[in-house]
């Protein structure tokens, strides 16, 4: 029996969404589901939601290792520190005058989200290698690039890939914008997570970029988005939202005029995180009262169910994955976490060789990966100096603060997150 373990199952809406998509495949109807969370109440809610699927075998455990026993696939979606830590990631930098929009991938928020996630990843990797060494780890937890690169260093035998829907939705929305059916489009995307690029985008052999240019020219409001601004300057469309994309470069958030021109929602993820908590409470209370949970949307498309279906059935399909760069993108650093296409089948996940990115895109990705590399090195080497080095090299942070302010901010964030950080880095 094929067993899927969900770690961080207390992210109940995401767990429910993934379960719905998994069980939509008839071939997966008899799989076994194992749910783990450290919060007993959230775990009970997740189990109740899983039970609504009907007929599926569900087990729960507050013990991670117990929950992982016999797993064929492990889906990771933890958020270490929860909503409180997310607010810290915004509030402390804001007190220094640093703007963030999402704060979960790069920048000060991304650095410290990574640092507090690494100890968890150590334990998860150790448990998987002990009780399900052949299982695939499908990681959804951000910061994606930092987490995947960290795992590739500390647990190279682990079969880990990172999954993110940003490329899918970019192609979906761009295709709608130019009036072409999404499922008829051919494309190639590569780069790093949240800063990959649409390198080719065609319909029946026709390049769709000229159609995008025409759509932008016809609607001046489209130009008031970071992604469109980056596309017009760099020649290729980035694959993550404008809110995310604004944080990975030095050009926008530190300038009030650009925040206004490009309609950037500062602190957006703080509100999203609060809304997620509210949705959980609504779901918990509805189930406790014997009612139905809030309905799920119909437009969710995640890669994990597709990976699982291909592992079980052998059906070949192509998705985007995040993996260590071993000869995949030639002009990005070896070993760095990159996002590339991959073929799925019964044997697993097979990343594609892409070759060189256009120079300007590789240059921007390298500035992103410098922060990733230094953050990972800080934890692997137990070197708190590298936390400051990562912050100093972060494009948006360096554009907004002086070197002394950056150093003081790192100290304040270290104190605020305290015991969530690796022991060796608590004095950063």
Say if strands 32-36 and 3-7 run parallel, antiparallel, or are unpaired: parallel
Task: Report how far Cα 129 is from the mean position of its chain's Cα atoms.
Answer: 23
pLDDT in tens, 222-243: 999 999 999 999 999 999 999 9
315 or 300, higher pLDDT: 315
pLDDT in tens, 194-221: 999 999 999 999 999 999 999 999 999 9
pLDDT at 54: 67
pLDDT in tens, 329-381: 999 999 999 999 999 999 999 999 999 999 999 999 999 999 999 999 999 99
pLDDT band at 290 (very low <50, low <70, confident <90, very high): confident
* Locus of tokens 């809304």: 275
Which whole number is the average pLDDT over 284-298? 79
Q: Is pLDDT above 90 for 276?
A: no
Binding-site positions for Mn(2+) read 164, 194
pLDDT in tens, 314-337: 999 999 999 999 999 999 999 999
Which whole number is the average pLDDT over 279-283? 87
pTM: 0.95
pLDDT at 302: 87
Binding-site positions read 142, 164, 194
pLDDT at 57: 87
Nearest to residue 108, comparing CAs of 428, 404, 388, 403? 388
Nearest to residue 32, comparing CAs of 78, 77, 74? 74
Burial tier of 61 (Cβ tally within 10 Å: 0-12, 13-18, 19+): middle
In this structure, of 151-165, 251-265, 276-290, the range with the lowest mean pLDDT score is 276-290
297 or 402, higher pLDDT: 402
pLDDT at 300: 57
Task: Report how far Cα 221 is from the mean position of its chain's Cα atoms.
Answer: 28
CA atoms within 13 A on the CB side of 411: 6
Q: Is pLDDT above 80 for 192?
A: yes
Which whole number is the average pLDDT over 285-292? 83
Nearest to residue 267, comparing CAs of 108, 107, 417, 94? 94
pLDDT in tens, 74-97: 999 999 999 999 999 999 999 999
pLDDT at 139: 98
pLDDT band at 51 (very low <50, low <70, confident <90, very high): confident
pLDDT at 297: 65
Q: Is pLDDT above 60 for 269?
A: yes
pLDDT in tens, 91-147: 999 999 999 999 999 999 999 999 999 999 999 999 999 999 999 999 999 999 999
Q: Classify 296 in phi/psi space as left (phi over 0), alpha (psi -120 to 50) or beta.
A: beta
Which whole number is the average pLDDT over 276-282? 88
Q: Note every long-range contact of 346-351, with CB atoms under 8 Å and residues 24 or more positions apart, other chains counting.
A: 346/310, 346/311, 346/312, 346/313, 346/314, 348/136, 348/159, 348/311, 349/136, 349/159, 349/161, 349/307, 349/321, 349/323, 351/321, 351/323
pLDDT at 216: 96
Q: Is pLDDT above 80 for 272?
A: yes
Cα 139 from Cα 136, distance rounded (Å): 9
Q: What is the overall mean pLDDT for the chain? A: 94
Q: Is pLDDT above 70 for 158?
A: yes
Q: Is pLDDT above 70 for 299?
A: no
Residues forming the active site? 165
* Locus of tokens 């940003």: 166
Q: Which domains does the chain have, with CATH numbers?
A: 83-101+163-266+302-428 (3.90.1820.10)
Binding-site positions for substrate read 142
pLDDT in tens, 391-420: 999 999 999 999 999 999 999 999 999 999
């Amino acid at each position: 029996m094929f067993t899927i373990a969900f770690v961080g199952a207390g992210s109940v809406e995401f767990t429910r969404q993934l379960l719905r998509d998994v069980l939509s495949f008839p071939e997966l109807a008899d799989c076994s589901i194992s749910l783990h969370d450290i919060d007993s109440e959230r775990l009970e809610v997740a189990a109740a939601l899983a039970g609504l699927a009907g007929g599926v075998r569900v087990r729960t455990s507050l013990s991670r290792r117990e929950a992982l026993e016999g797993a064929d696939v492990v889906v990771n979606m933890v958020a270490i520190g929860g909503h409180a830590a997310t607010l810290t990631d915004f509030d402390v930098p804001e007190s220094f005058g640093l703007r963030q929009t999402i704060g979960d991938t790069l920048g000060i928020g991304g650095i410290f989200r990574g640092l507090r996630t690494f100890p968890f990843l150590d334990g998860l990797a150790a448990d998987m290698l002990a009780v399900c060494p052949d299982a695939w780890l499908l990681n959804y937890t951000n910061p994606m690039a930092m987490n995947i690169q960290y795992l590739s260093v500390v647990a190279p035998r682990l079969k880990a890939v990172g999954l993110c829907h940003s490329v899918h939705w970019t192609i979906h929305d761009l295709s709608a914008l130019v009036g072409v059916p999404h499922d008829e489009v051919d494309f190639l995307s590569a780069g790093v997570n949240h800063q990959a690029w649409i390198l080719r985008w065609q319909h029946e052999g026709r390049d769709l970029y000229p159609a995008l240019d025409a759509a932008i020219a016809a609607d001046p409001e489209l130009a008031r988005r970071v992604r469109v601004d980056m596309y017009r300057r760099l020649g290729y469309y980035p694959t993550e939202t404008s809110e995310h994309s604004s944080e990975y470069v030095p050009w926008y958030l530190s300038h009030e005029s650009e925040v206004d021109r490009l309609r950037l929602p500062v602190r957006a993820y703080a509100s999203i995180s609060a809304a997620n908590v509210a949705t959980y409470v609504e779901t918990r209370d509805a189930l406790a009262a014997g009612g139905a949970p809030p309905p799920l949307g119909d437009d969710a498309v995640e890669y994990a169910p597709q990976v699982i279906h291909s592992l079980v059935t052998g059906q070949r399909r192509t998705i985007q994955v995040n993996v260590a760069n071993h000869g995949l993108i030639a002009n990005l650093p070896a070993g760095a976490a990159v996002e590339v296409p991959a073929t799925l089948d019964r044997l697993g996940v097979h990343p594609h060789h892409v070759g060189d990115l256009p120079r300007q895109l590789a240059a921007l990705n390298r500035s992103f990966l410098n922060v990733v590399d230094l953050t990972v090195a800080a934890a692997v080497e137990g070197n708190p100096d590298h936390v400051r080095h990562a912050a100093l090299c972060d494009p948006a942070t360096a554009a907004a603060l002086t070197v002394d302010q950056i150093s003081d901010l790192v100290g304040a964030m270290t104190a605020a997150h305290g015991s969530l950080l690796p022991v060796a880095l608590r004095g950063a």
